[in-house]
Structure formats: structure tokens, C-alpha cells
Structure 1
Amino acid sequence: MNKILTLFLFFLCSWANAQIVLKIADVDSREPLANVRASAGGELLGRSDQRGEMRISSSESLLLHFELEGYESMSREVGPGKELTLLMAKRIMNLSEVTVSAFESERPILEQSSSIAVVTEQDFSRFNETSIVNSFNTKPGVRIEERAPASYRISIRGSSLRAPFGVRNVKVYWNEVPFTAPDGTTALNLLDLSNIRNAEVIKGPSGSIYGAGNGGVVNLHSPANPVGGRLSADFMAGDFGMSRYRLGISQQVGNGGFEASYVSQKSDGYREHSAMDRQVFQLGGFFDVSAKQEIRTQLLVSDLDYQIPGGLNADQLAEDPTQARPGSVGQNSSIAQQSVFASIGHLYRFSSKFKNSTTLYLNTNDFENPFILDYKKELGFGYGGRTAFTFDGKLAGKDLRLIAGGEYQSSLTDAQNFGNRAGVADTVRFADKLRATQGFLFQQAEWNLSEDLMLTIALSENFSSLEVDRQIDASGGTTGLQTRKFDPIVVPRFAVNYQFNTYSGVYGSISSGFSPPTIDEVRTNEGSLNLDLEAEKGVNYEVGYRLGKGKLNLDLTAFYFKLDQTITTYTNPQGVVLFRNAGSTDQKGIEAAIDYALIRSQTAFVRDLKIGTAFTGNYFTFANYQQGDNDFSGNDLTGVSPNTLVSRLDLRTAPGFYLNFTHQYVDEIPLNDANTVYQDAYNLVNTRFGWARSFAGKWELEAFAGVDNLLNESYSLGNDLNPFGGRYYQPAPTRNWYGGVKVGFLY
């Protein structure tokens, strides 16, 4: 009996040792890769399953060759009894191979009936990785401004007109969770770039699925579920006292796993009083409960402090562009913000044709903002969620996809405004309890009328309200509850998509949009309440053509957006930014993106050589805008460059050396509604070069350096519009260098 048991155990050990266990994933997203073919000597030995796993029986070492459409092939020698994690890199992708999840419908981008820009991790790593600005600004129709380190504005097709600071009029989601607060503002600066793996930017009104926001939608996705285990560390340093380091770990646990990271970034800033200090901790979990259920969790803890140097007038700019606005230093004009954001998402597949995805979130926010004119403190709490049901069926024998769901958000904020005495909060001026609520239901049908033609009809019903309960008003003004409930708004969208073949197609859409004023626009810093502000409403007409074949990508879009009740800014003599509805605007635009791979080889010294160009033409005017005796009708829309051109070159070699080169031309920008002051056109050149290799299937190493603003241009990356005293300019950094290393270990 003992001999039989011994032989049985020996057989089991021998059989186990004869197994080669492989786990295969995407090098960027760490998503498992299914259907990877493994062969040896021309013989197919197996394919990876949905979990990216594969087992090959062999009692000897094998030279395995791995292949998957859209990915670079690779070879590895693997011995029996070994477990190995392989990371495969995508080839230079064309549009026919890109899949996006916009409008709650995961489809190839050629089948999407909307203008969508995809920003990948490769786009992020072309620059210094301290912010999202440069990578997003390579996409047509998209412009992110950074008036000071970590002080962002997002403009999609000129939508930042009403955003003197912060992110407004654009809806942002992070891992399918609403990251935009229910009052319409987004604290995008709480995220580090490492918290974003890729992004999809939907340009133009998208309210039929995403609710308020005429500018569009930004869907951000963080690192996905891990395969195997990985430790990583990054360090970077640069001019103006910049330093950044990151520590990360990802670990597969069963069919799920977790990923955690900690990032610290600091800089002294180019200008006086423009330092920034941010620490971000992220913990994400993925749990594959069963074949039907998945659970995802996210925890984000962010601690951000940054100084606000303020705008300069022309004389101050000429005298010394590095100086702060007079008063900013003495009053410690700055922002300190601590936030916790937690979410849980659940995916349930009722059948192969019917599923539901639901996400819920909670967040807290402690905000402190000493400014030249006052001192603001806010303590807020928010919650909300989103759910979407998807059904794939048939109608009249043709494929039909139905999507229906809803979203709800609410926030409560205790807000106090004090006097500012040398950077210290003084006597309270007014104090409010604020509540913002927004919710909507959405429905969408995608019907394939033929193999080549798809019709989309979508609709949402939107509800929103603001409450300001004034507790204290030291000036003797009215106290008590004041409410603004906006009329329910129905937002439709109609679109068609026609595919000429597998690599090209056209689309057209008509979509409505709306954008109610935010609390910061209704409740201004000097204490007034502007509850009469109306929501912006607009209609967008759009046509587009896409081609993705071989080495060539081409994406062309033309649109016309008619916006009514446009919200614009002006500044009173005390320097307080105020808001008003300013009639209507006509916004005509064209967008074009062309990419071409000059070289794509797996054997030559130069493995990849790719060039690309993105052009944005925004020909926006005030259609009907009169303020007092001033008639601005026909003037160019404030803060919008009519022409922007971005050119890119990317080179990668067999030894691992690479070069990324970017040139951006920005046409002159009108800085006031009267079009009497412009920022001059400028040329911005950025480059990054480095070396990256992996060793023994375990180690990953990269060393890099780069230079921003190579031509040493004088420009502002985010001007103040219609300011009092001519303080238009927020000077951006001159030429500056950076360098760093990245290390990763697979275990």
C-alpha cells in the first residue's frame, strides 16, 4: 500500500512538474488576454482562456512563440514545472482595432456615432507625467489649461468660457463613477496621473446618457484587475524644484486581485508663490465572484496644497513674468484640500444577452481657500450612484441593443466666508448650508437596420436643484433658505452610422445639451446670490468620417453648435468674478487627426516610427450679446483659439531607445468680450527620450529625460477672461528639464 501511495505521489509530482503554467496580460492595462496562441516549431500547443491562463504539458524546455491579433508577437524559452507571467504589447493600433465604451455601449470606435478621442497610457508617457495637460492637448477639440500647478481648466470645443477657475461644464467619470460633483464642478486635481490608465473624451453635448454639461464627457479608467504580482517604483525630478515618486503593488488573488499605489509630487513653481504639494493613495480591488458577477472597489485619499500666484497685467508681465499678483503672497492666496472618495461597482450578467452595471460612491471634502479678497472654508459630504441595464436582442430580425438606467447625486456643504487678515481667517462675513441635487433617467436604442447601417435614438429626463440656507450675513442681508429648482429638461439624441467596409465609415448626429449654473456661479465670493441665472441650452449637429487601415488612421469631424443663454464672466471693481447669461453663440468647427506609421517592424533596428497631426478649427462667435451700451454680437468667442495644430513624432528602436517629439501651434486668443485684447499666437515644443527594456521576464527598467517648452516661449496656459484691471495673464513656465527612472518587478 505504501509503495502504491509513493508511486501515486511520484506520478502527481512528475505530472505537475511537466506542466508549463502561463498567465498572459496586456502590458499597459494588465487585463488578461484571451485567445493568445502558443506554438513551438510551428505546432499550435494551446490558447489562453478568458483569464489569460494557459497550461502546456511538456517534460522538457520549449521555445514558445506567442501571437494575438493587434499585439506584437513574442518568444520565450520556458522549462517544465515553471509558472510565468507574460506581458504583451499592442502594435501601433489603427482605428479599426480600437474599442471604446462611450454611451454605455462597448463597440469598436468605427461603429460609434460620435466624435471620441482616446488618450492612452502611451500618450501619457510621451511627456513628463506630472499632469494630464500635454497628453490631452494632442487631441483635436480638447484643451486643458493649467493656470498654476494643479489648477486645471478643461475646454472641450471652447466650453471653458464660464470657468475662471476649476473644471465646469464638462462631466467627468472615474471608473464608471460620477467624479463631477452634483453642483457641476470637478476637482480633477485630486487625481494623480498614475490613477488614470486611459481616457475617453466624448466631444459635444452628451446629455442623453450623461446628463448636464454642454462641453462633453471625460471617462477616466484606472489600472484594471492584476494578473500575477508586480512591484513598481518611479522617481522623477526637474526644474523649479519639481520632484515626484511613486510606489505601487498589484497582486492577483484567485480570479481577482488588488492594486495599491502611493504618489508624492512637489514643486516650487516657475512663478513666485506657485508651489504645489500633493499626496495621493489609491487602493483598487477586483473580485470575480462567479461567471455572472464581478465586484470592483476603489478608495482614493488625496491631500493637495497649492499656491495661487494670480493674474498679471501687461506692465507687470513685461516687468517680471515670475512675480505674483500684488497681495497674493501677503494674503497667502492658496488652496488646501483633503478628500476621500470611495466607490463600489457591481456587474451582474443575467444571461448572455442581459446585464446590469451599478456603481455607488461616497466622498468627503475639506476645502480651505485664503484669497486676496476673502477666506473661504468648506466641509462637504456627497453620495450618489449610477445604474445601467443592457439588453441585446432582435427587432424585425435585426440586431437591437437597448440601454436604460439612471443616475442620482446629492451633496451637503457647510460653507463660510471670512475676511482675510494676512493669510488668517478673520471675522465671518457670511455662512451657508448648501445642498445640490441632480438626477436623470436615460434610455437608448441601437438598431442595426442592415449589416452596415446602425440607427441610435436616445433620451434622458433631467432634474436638478440648488439650496442655499444662509445662517449668517454680517452685512445685514437676508438670511434663511433660498431654493432654485430648475425645470425638468428632456435631452434627445439621434444618430446614424454607416460602414463602407471593415476599416472605414461615416456618422452623423443631432444632440441636445444643457448646463445649469454651479453653486460657485450662483453664490459668489462677495456674498450675493444670483439665483436668476438660467441653464445654458444648446443643439449640436455633427458629421464625421473615420478610416483605420494598415498604417494609416484618419478621423475627420465637422460640427455646428447653437448655444442659448450662454453664461459668461465679468469682474467687478473689487476683483470678484461674477456671472451672467449673455444671449447666444454660434460655434462652427472642424477637427482632424491623421496618424501614419512610417516603419513598423519586429526585426529591424527601428521598430516603430510614427508621425501624427491633429488640427482644431474653432470658429465661434457671439450671435446675440449686448451688455448695456456695448453690443458684442459678431465678436469672436472669448478664450477660444480659432486654430490649433499639433504634430507628433514617435521613434522606438530594437535596443529599447525611444524618442517622442511634439510641436503645438496655438493661434491668438481673444481675452475679453470686446475683442480688444488678445494673447499672441505661440509655438510650444516638448520632447522626451529614454531607454526601456525588460529582463528575464521579471524585471522592467526605464530611464528617461525630457524638456518642456524647448523654444523658451513666453505664453499663458490659461488666461483670465474679462478681468478687472487688465489682469489677463498667467505666465507659464519657460524652458525646463526633467528626468527619472522606473523599475518594475514581476513575481
Structure 2
Amino acid sequence: MKFLVLSIISIAISLSISLAQSSLVFLDKNTGSGIPGVLVKVSSHPNQTSDEKGQVYLQISKNTFISFSHVSYESGGVQLNENENKTIYLVPVTQSLGEVTVIGFESERPLVHQAGAISKVLEYELYRFNENSILSAFNTKPGIRIEQRAPASYRISIRGSSLRSPFGVRNVKVYWNDIPFTSPDGTTALNILDLSNVQNSEIIKGPAGSIYGAGNGGVISFESRKQVTENYFSLDYGIGDFGLNRYRIGIDQQIGNGGVSASYVHQQSDGYRQHSAMDRKVFQLALHSNPNDKQSLSTQVLYSDLDYQIPGALNATQVEEDRKQARPGSVGQNSSIKQKTLYGTLSHELNFHKKWSNITAVYLNTTEFENPFILDYKRETAFSYGGRTKFRFDDIWGNFPVKIIAGGEYQYGKTLAQNFGNRQGKADTIRFSDDLITTQAFLFQQFEIEWTSKLLMTLGFSENFARYDIDRQIDAGRRTPSFNSRSFDPIIIPRLAMVYKLNEFSGIHTSVSSGFSPPTIAEVRTNEGSINLDLQAERGTNYEMGYRGKYGIFNLDLTAFYFRLKETITSFTNDQGVVLFRNAGATDQKGIEMQLDYAIYRNQLSLVQEIKLSHAYTGHFFQFSEYSTGGTDFSGNRLTGVAPNTLVNLLDIRTKPGLYLNLTHQYVDEIPLNDANTVFQDAYNLIGSRLGWRTTFGGRWDFEVYGGVDNLLDESYSLGNDLNAFAGRFYQPAPGRNWYGGAKLGFRY
């Protein structure tokens, strides 16, 4: 009898334990309806998906961290106790502006209540195109244009800022995981990053010197994945026209309250044009930890080995003959770039108090750079270090809502730069050799005051210091070493901004900001050996007003601005083909930027779950207001290299079985290619598409297969023209119609 009673009790206890369940219910934040198909991941348990009501039941015996994801919603995680029932409201990826949070001017707020022209590029937007670069996704945003003169040769224009960038990225400040990714000399090697090194991005358009120092173009902040929520192995493979091959191997491993992740990417292509092959290998190792609830620590190592050929620009006759040909001399002289870069970063966040916090990030960087060109052969070895720290004080005066943000940034760079003659792709006799030292630093302060529940004011300013030394050790021309130094007096850059909150989902913003951009060493020290110390820093003032809001299914972001720039730096080419720089008086830049997006259909239970549209319009009406050189007056001419009108239309369709379709249309107006406005790049239309299928099976496996076509209309256009080019060599022909495809496989272990 005792045995029978004990057996019954044991069975009852076991049955009660087996029936003791925890549950999660996933609801759409906007509609309140249940979300089926949410993937729920629990360590050491099989994965599950929510049912048609958005419910999932879990058998857990202790406080457990659970992560969840859905293709149409933001991913996340939650702590769940035994026998606990919890409802989670998920934010759609296509969400209203009131739900999009951005860092912006170091102030984490909903985008709708940010004072400034800010665009955000989310992870899913990066992966709706060919995955060989970030170019296509960024070019869907108003006011932003990335050009590609050859595979891996990028140029970024934010509101016309590429005017002084014949190649490379200048006059735009770039950050990666809170560290200054822009070198101390003002240039940015954006091409060393693979798409997988970026998860989300924010772009501030126009001067942001009150927080980010020198630069008139704007700021781009990249962020890679910072949290490891599960043990995961992934493998990607992509192919495409012109010999494109790309594969990636990645692994994430949880360790205590943090984790480690590593990835390796190798991308190759033969290129559309002759002598335009590219080979890039990128390795990233990241370690994240949370020592306690007040601290987080992140360290990363990034190594990039990049090798790409430069086909060079063509004139109109050469384009007509064969747009795939390289510029004469490029092949024989092996015009190309080899670059090996190693970054080491450390970031620490500390919450001293619920109202006080600090984030500090430091980095070390070494670069080996080799650039045989038609006219010379350049070698550089660079070392730099720097960091950024920010203190935040929230509501420090009790009930009076004032936030103070204060901090500083410092960068130091040293480069051994040598220029040789080029004899059939080999370095010949040395022409000149310089030791280059660049130092940039600034302090910043910002006050945010909520005068009322609807009116927010931001006042910020920074104090900037810059210096560079050019110590010429060898000069084969003059045969006498020389030392040149240039310091820029401390410059204060202010910004005043106001936001009026119409309601939770709409607001009006206005701002006045100043910009300061000294010439880079690459602009002062040119390839033919001259040193132009007379080149002045650009100074500008930007006036801006905008509206962001939601009307039913519609999200509207509209900004109008006027930017007055003095001592504008422009580029030109001498009769030897060397790019030189000069100040061009002043420019007037008036513009309108608009983005409208909306989901015309959304039903998680139907076969077609979502249909959404987005439109982005850019109207840049820029002109030289005061510009005379060589006895010619260009005042009143359109600004070189800037299209007055650009329109982008996007259509995304997603289905319950996992099929999806992305369609993209881009119209670019004609672009003046010289200051005289006598040569133009014709207007063009680009249409692209991507069709794919993604699914999860067995609770542990993720799979996706996709294919797409770019330039469906087979347009003839140039993406990255040479401005004010000698001998009419303006054009860098872009590929015609081309295809791509790939597959991805992921496994949770």
C-alpha cells in the first residue's frame, strides 16, 4: 500500500511538473494582433515558433533568457521565470517615425523628436540588394549618394560634399562602434569593411561639428552586432556577373553574460571593365561582456587585406568605342591599390548612477598602403591611435528637465609617405619622401532643455584643434629637405536646435549649425610633389527646418535647408593628369529632402503578409555664388558633380511561406561634370530586383536562397565621374544589366 501511494504521488508530481508551463504571447505593437511565426530560442532546448494567435508555450525550470526574432519585426530577448506568462509587443521593421530611436547628436530619442536631418539604414535594408557593398542601400536615402569608380573604390556625397573628393571619402566623418573610423588626416578607408561588418547605420546630413568635430558633409555611424544572444554558426555564399564570388563563415558563442563572435569574409570579382579586378579578405573578432548591471565592455579586432585594380577614366570617344576598356596606360603601369589594415578597439560603458553615465572608446590602427598609378608609384606606412569619451548627465537639477552631454575626442597619426617613379608597374627612382604627422582634437558640450512638455531646445558647441606637419626628408627635384607645418587656431563650432512636439508621432524641428573643414594632407601634399599651404579651411553655416509625422499608414520625413559655404575646396586636373585643389570662393546650397513610406497591406495570417512602398526625393539646387579663376567667372553655375533631382521608389512584398520580392527604381538627373557647366552626365533610370525564400526548419536551422538583377534596363551611365578632368576624361562607366545570387545557412547549437 505504501508503495502504491508513493507511486501515485510521484506520478502526480511528475505530471504537475510536466504540465507546469510558461508562455509568451507576441502582439503587433501597432495593431495588437497576434504574430504567428515568431522564432523563440532557448539555450539547450529545441527552438519553437508562435502559433496563429502569437502564443508559444515553454517548459522551463528556472529563470531563463529567451531570445526571439521575426523577419518583419525587431528582434529581442526577455527573462522568463517558471510558470510565468508574459505578453510582448513587437515593433514592426517598417515602423512609424515615433517608434524609430536614433542616437543622432549623442542624444537617444525617437527620430520624430530629433532636431536634425537624420536617416537610418537598418540591417534588413542592407540585405535587399546584392550583398557585395553598402552602396545600393545608402543610395535609397534622400540627400545621400555613394559612388563607385571601380569595385571597392568608393566616394560618399552627403549634400554635395564629394566636390573635393576625386577619390576616397573626405569631408564626411565616419564612426564604427563608437570609435572614429575616419583617419586623423580626414580621409576614410570605407572600402576595407564588408557588408557583414555593419548591422545598423545612422547618417547625419550637413554640419555636425558641435558634437563630431571638423567636417561639413555630415556623419555616418556604423554599428556591428554587439550582443551575442545564442550559439550560432552561419555560412553564406554569393555569386554574380563579372566573376563575383563571396563567401562568409561566422560563429557566435555565448560566454556567461556576454559572448564572442568571429567572422571571415572573402570577396573576389574580375570587374566589369578591363583592369578592374578586386580581392578583399576581412576578419573580425569581437568580445562582449557585462561584468555587472552597471557596466559593459566590448573589444574588437578587424583585419582587412584589400587589393583592387583602377581602370581609370575615359573620354566620350573612348566610351563610345568600348566602355569596358581601361584608360590607356592603366594596364601597363598596373594602376591599382593594395592595402592591409589592422584595427584594435576597446569600448567601455559605465552607469555611475541612474542619472550619470560614461562611454569611452579607444583604438589603435596600422595600415600598409601601396598605389602604383599611371604617373607615379606611392607607398605609405601609417600608424594612428585615438579615442572618444562622452559623459551624460540626465535631469541634474531635480524636476527641471535638463540633460548635459560633454566629452572629447583625440586622434594622432604618423605616416611615412614615399613617391617613386612608375616603370611598368614597379617602383623606380624615389621622387620625394615625407614624414607626416597629423593631430586633431576637440571638446564638445551640449545642453538639452525641455522648456515645456512639447518644446525641446538643444544648444551645443565644440572647440576644435588641428595641426599637421610635413617633414620632407627626400626631394629629388629640389634636393633639399624642408619642413612645413600648418596649425589651425582653436575654432568654436556652435549649433542651436529646437523641436516642437505636435503629438507622440509628429514634430517640427529647426536648427542653425556651423561647420569647419580644414584641408586634408592629401589635398595639401599632392602627387607631383607640391605643397600648397595656402589652401584655406572651408567654413559654412546651415539653416534647416523639417517635419516628421505619421498619418495613418503613412510616415513622412520632410526637410528644407540652406547651406552657405565659404572658401569651398574644389578639385581640378593639370595637363599632366595630376589632381590639384583650390578654394573657390563661396557656394549657395538650397535643398529639399523627403521620404515617404507606408504599408498598403499587412496581415500576418494571409498568404501575402505585407506589401510596403517607400519613396525618397532629393532636390539639391546648388550653385557657385562667388567663384572666379584664371580670368573666368563661374558664379551662378551649378555645383559640379551634384544632380539637382533624384527619386527612389521601393516596393517590398513578403509572403507567409517565406517568399519575398524587393523592387527598386532610381532616377538620377543630369550632373554637371565641370565648373563651366559645359559637360554633363546624362540623366538615367536604374531598376533592380531581388527575389528570395527564407525559412526556419527543425527548430535549429535557418536557410535562405536568393537571386537578383541590377540595371534591368541596361542603362549606360557613369557611377563616379572625374570632375574637371583634363583631356575630357570624365567618365567611369558602370556595369550594364547584371545578375547575382546566393544562399545562406545557419545552425543553432
TM over 0.5: yes
Aligned partners of 1:135, 1:105: CA distance in 2, in Å?
25
2: distance between equivalents of 1:739 and 1:228? 28
Would you say the 8 A contact 1:38–1:64 is kept in 2? no
CA distance in 2, matches of 1:22, 1:428: 72
Confirm or deny that 1:691 pairs with 2:693: yes
Out of 61, 70, 76, the residue aligned to residue 56 of structure 2 is: 76
The Cα of 1:532 is off from its aligned counterpart by: 1.4
For the 8 Å contact 1:24–1:53, the answer to whether it is kept is no
**Alignment correspondent of 2:85:** none
Is the contact between residue 24 and residue 87 of structure 1 (CA under 8 Å) also seen in structure 2? no
Q: What is the CA–CA distance in structure 1 between the aligned matches of 2:383 and 2:23, rounded to whole Å?
A: 46
Q: Please report the TM-score for the alignment, with normalisation by the length of structure 2.
A: 0.91
TM-superposed CA distance for 1:596, in Å, is 1.1
Contact 2:390 2:406 in 1 (8 A): yes
Question: Alignment partner for residue 470 of structure 2, among 464, 468, 471?
Answer: 468
The 3 A distance-change label for structure 1 pair 326 and 22 is farther
1:217 aligns with 2:227: no
Distance 1:440 1:679, change over 3 A: same
More moved, 289-298 vs 453-462: 289-298
1:332-481 alignment runs, 5 A limit: 332-393=334-395, 395=397, 397-481=399-483
Instruction: Give per-residue Cα distances to partners, 1:10-36, cap 9 Å, x unaligned.
Output: 99999998877899999xxxxxxx9xx
Q: Which residue of 1 aligns with 2:326?
A: 324
Alignment of 1:343-742 (within 5 A): 343-393=345-395, 395=397, 397-742=399-744
Separation in structure 2 between the aligned mates of residue 724 and residue 550 of structure 1, nearest angstrom: 53
Partner of 2:130: 128
Task: Give the Å deviation of 1:398.
Answer: 2.9
The answer as to whether partners of 1:298 and 1:344 remain within 8 angstroms in 2 is: yes
Instruction: Kindly indicate whether the alpha-carbon contact (under 8 Å) linking 2:367 and 2:381 is maintained by their aligned counterparts in 1.
Output: yes
What is the distance in 2 between the residues matched to 1:450 and 1:285?
A: 42
Change (3 A) 1:706 1:542: same
Three-state SS of the structure 1 residue aligned to 2:136 is: helix
> 2:389, 2:17 → 1: CA distance?
45
TM-score of the superposed pair, with normalisation by structure 1: 0.92
Q: Give the drift of 1:113.
A: 0.3
Give SS of 1:209's match: helix
Q: 1:477 to 1:636 in 2, by over 3 A?
A: farther
Q: CA deviation at 1:79?
A: 4.6
Residue 157 (structure 2) aligns with: 155
Q: Aligned partners of 1:204 and 1:528: how far apart in 2?
A: 31
The CA deviation at 1:696 is: 3.3
Taking the aligned partners of 1:474 and 1:192, their CA distance within structure 2 comes to 40
Deviations 1:534-592 (A, max 9, x none): 11000000000001354211000000000000000111111000000110000000001
The change in CA–CA distance for 1:583 and 1:13 in structure 2 (over 3 A counts) is: farther
Which whole-Å deviations, capped at 9, do the CAs of 1:101-127 have from their partners, x for residues lacking one?
111111111111001000011111110
1:504/1:421 Cα in 2 relative to 1: closer, same or farther (>3 Å)?
Answer: same
CA contact (8 A) 1:209 1:442 kept: yes
1:25–1:86 CA contact under 8 A, matched in 2: no
Decide whether aligned partners of structure 1 residues 461 and 85 sit closer, same or farther in structure 2, where only a CA change above 3 A counts: closer
Aligned to 1:146: 148
Q: Is the 8 A contact 2:659 2:691 kept in 1?
A: yes
Residue deviations 1:205-238 (CA, integer Å, cap 9, x gap) = 0000000110000000001211021111110101
Counterpart residue type for residue 285 of structure 1: L
User: How much has 1:251 moved relative to structure 2?
Assistant: 1.5
What stretches of structure 1 move > 6 A for 4+ residues in a row?
Answer: 9-26, 37-40, 52-56, 61-64, 81-84
Q: CA contact under 8 A between 2:688 and 2:711: conserved in structure 1?
A: yes
- Over 3 Å counting, the alpha-carbon distance change for 1:372 and 1:80 in structure 2 is same
Of the three residues 290, 301, 304, the one matched with 2:292 is 290
1:318 counterpart SS class: helix
Paired with 1:214 and 1:62, the residues of 2 have a C-alpha distance of: 49
> Which residue does the alignment assign to 2:228?
226
Give deviations 1:28-53, integer Å, cap 9, x for gaps. Answer: xxxxxx9xx9999xxxxxxx9xxx99
- Distance verdict in 2 for CA 1:398–1:310, change over 3 Å: same
- Contact 2:25–2:54 (CA<8 Å) still a contact in 1? no
Rate the CA distance shift 1:258–1:320 in 2: closer, same or farther, 3 A.
Answer: same
SS at match of 1:391: strand
One-letter amino acid of the structure 1 residue matched with residue 323 of structure 2: P
Tell me the distance in 1 between the aligned counterparts of 2:149 and 2:264: 26
Equivalent residue, structure 1, for 2:6: none
Amino acid at match of 1:682: Y
Hey, what's the Cα distance between the residues in 2 that align with 1:741 and 1:446?
A: 47
8 Å CA contact retained: 1:511, 1:540 = yes
**Residue 12 to residue 431, structure 1, CA distance change in 2 (3 Å):** farther
Counterpart amino acid of residue 468 in structure 1: I
Q: Answer yes or no: is the 8 Å Cα contact 1:21–1:54 preserved in 2.
A: no
> Cα distance, 1:285 vs. partner?
1.3
Does the 8 A contact of 2:439 with 2:466 survive in 1?
yes
2: distance between equivalents of 1:25 and 1:351?
A: 33
Structure 1 segments unaligned to the other structure (5+ residues)? 4-8, 27-33, 41-47, 67-71
Question: Is the CA contact 2:113–2:506 (under 8 Å) kept in the aligned structure 1?
Answer: no
Closer/same/farther in 2, CA of residues 80 and 358 from structure 1, 3 Å limit: closer
Structure 1 residue 479: Cα displacement: 1.4
More displaced, 711-720 or 284-293?
Answer: 284-293
Distance 1:221 1:183 in 2: 22
Letter in 2 for 1:573: D
Aligned match of 1:86: 68
- In structure 2, do the counterparts of structure 1 residues 265 and 24 end up closer, same or farther at CA, with 3 Å as the change threshold? farther
User: The residue matched to 1:131 in structure 2 has which SS?
Assistant: coil
Distance in 2 (CA, whole Å) between partners of 1:148 and 1:23 is 50
Change (3 A) 1:299 1:711: same
Question: Would the alpha carbon gap of residues 526 and 656 (structure 1) be closer, same or farther in structure 2, given more than 3 Å must change?
Answer: same
For the pair 1:274 / 2:276, whether they are aligned, the reply is: yes
Partner of 1:31: none
Describe the SS at the equivalent of 1:96.
helix
Match of 2:263 in 1: 261
Which secondary structure state, in structure 2, belongs to the residue aligned with residue 105 of structure 1? coil
CA deviation after TM superposition for structure 1 residue 74, in Å: 3.7
Offset, 1:695: 1.7
Question: Matched residues, percent identical?
Answer: 58
Displacement after TM superposition at 1:475 (Å): 0.8
Cα distance, 1:604–1:536 mapped onto 2, change above 3 Å = same
Question: Residues 564 and 315 (structure 1 numbering): CA distance in 2 closer, same or farther, change over 3 Å?
Answer: same
- How far, CA to CA, are the matches of 1:198 and 1:478 in structure 2? 50
Letter in 1 for 2:688: N
| TM-aligned CA distance change 1:65 to 1:25, over 3 Å | closer
Cα shift at 1:86? 3.1
Check conservation: 1:23, 1:85, Cα contact below 8 A: no
- Do 2:142 and 2:593's aligned partners in 1 also have CA atoms closer than 8 Å? yes
Q: 1:203 aligns with which of 202, 205, 225?
A: 205
Q: How has the CA–CA distance of structure 1 residues 477 and 622 changed in structure 2, closer, same or farther, with 3 Å as cutoff?
A: farther
- Pairwise CA RMSD: 2.9
Tell me the alpha carbon deviations over residues 111-147 of structure 1, each in whole angstroms, 9 at most, x when there is no partner: 1100100001111111011011110000000000011
